[in-house]
Amino acid sequence: MILDVSQAQGDDVLILNRAGLRESFRLLKHDKELDYDFLSDITAVDYWGKKEPRFEVVYQILSRRRRRRLRLRVPVPENDPAVESVTPLWRGANFLEREVWDLFGIRFIGHPDLRRILLYDEFVGYPLRKDYPVNLVQPRVPERTVEGTFVDERSHNKLLSLKKSLGAS
């Protein structure tokens, strides 16, 4: 499962295979000696035209007891951008994975509620991919119809009577 181990600027870095990712995380979290019990961050990097596979999902975890940080990098190919979700292990991963999905278009299998989070639902494309131009203009979004909006009948009638008294059709 481990593809490569390295140490850069004093950080421990593991490059993991995405197959069986959740099991790897479960081991890292629950093993008494490893004890990486705290998830710090999830993000992704797009190495478009620089590296193959194109994406890398990056996890920062740490062991509070041993005072040690660990960075996990998981390569993800462009034709199937998906990794297993770690939300069952850390519920805080929910928002972080939604953000990666929103900005990079990498799916998280087993995520309970994978929706866009920072951008709106009608947004086209994934802006943090390197092939998304920085000055691209998004199409205009038609007005949404909101169902079940509460309308106060009295104020409505008041407006109607006011219109009538003013002679408007």
Partner 1 sequence: MELQMGPSHPATHGTIKFNLKLEGEKVLDCDVEVGFLHRGFDKSCEQATWTQVIPYTDRLNYASSLINNIGYALTVEKLIGVQTPPRCQYIRVIVSELARIYDHLTCCGMAASELGAITAGFYMIEARELIIRIVEALTGARLTVTYVRIGGVKHDLIEGFAERVAQTFKTIRKLLEDCDRLLSRNRIFLDRMSNVGIISQETALSYCLTGPILRASGVSYDVRKAFPYLVYDQFEFEVPVGSRGDNYDRFVCRIREIEQSMKIVEQALERLPVGPVWIDDPRFVLPEKEKVYGSIEGLMHHFKIIMEGIKVPPGETYAAVEGGNGELGFYIVSDGGGRPYRIRVRPPCFIAMGAFHEMIKGHMVADIVPTFGMVNMIGGECDR
DSSP β-ladder status, 107-109 and 68-76: unpaired
Nearer to partner 1, 124 or 160 (CB): 124
x/- string (CB under 8 A) for partner 1, residues 13-32?
--------------------
Q: Quick one: which H or E segment has residue 5?
A: strand 2-8
x/- string (CB under 8 A) for partner 1, residues 139-158?
---------x----------
Over its C-alpha atoms, the chain yields an Rg (Å, rounded) of 24
Kindly state the smallest distance separating residue 142's Cβ from partner 1, in Å: 20
Q: Which two tokens stand for residue 167?
A: 């002679």
Cα–Cα distance between 138 and 115 in angstroms, integer?
Answer: 19
Cα–Cα distance between 92 and 7 in angstroms, integer?
Answer: 27
Nearest one of 25, 157, 169, 156 to 97, comparing CA atoms: 25
Nearest one of 113, 132, 130 to 56, comparing CA atoms: 130
Q: Which amino acid is at 116?
A: R
* Beta carbons of 126 and 64 less than 8 angstroms apart: no
Choice from 30, 91, 156, 158 touching partner 1 (CB under 8 A): 91
Q: Which of residues 107-136 bind partner 1 (CB under 8 A)?
A: 117-120, 127-128, 134
53 binds partner 1 per the rule CB under 8 A: no
Choice from 4, 11, 80, 122 touching partner 1 (CB under 8 A): 11
51 binds partner 1 per the rule CB under 8 A: no
37 binds partner 1 per the rule CB under 8 A: yes
Kindly state the smallest distance separating residue 48's Cβ from partner 1, in Å: 11
**Residues in touch with partner 1 (CB under 8 A):** 8-9, 11, 37-41, 43, 45-46, 50, 58, 60, 64, 67, 69, 71, 90-96, 99, 103, 117-120, 127-128, 134, 148
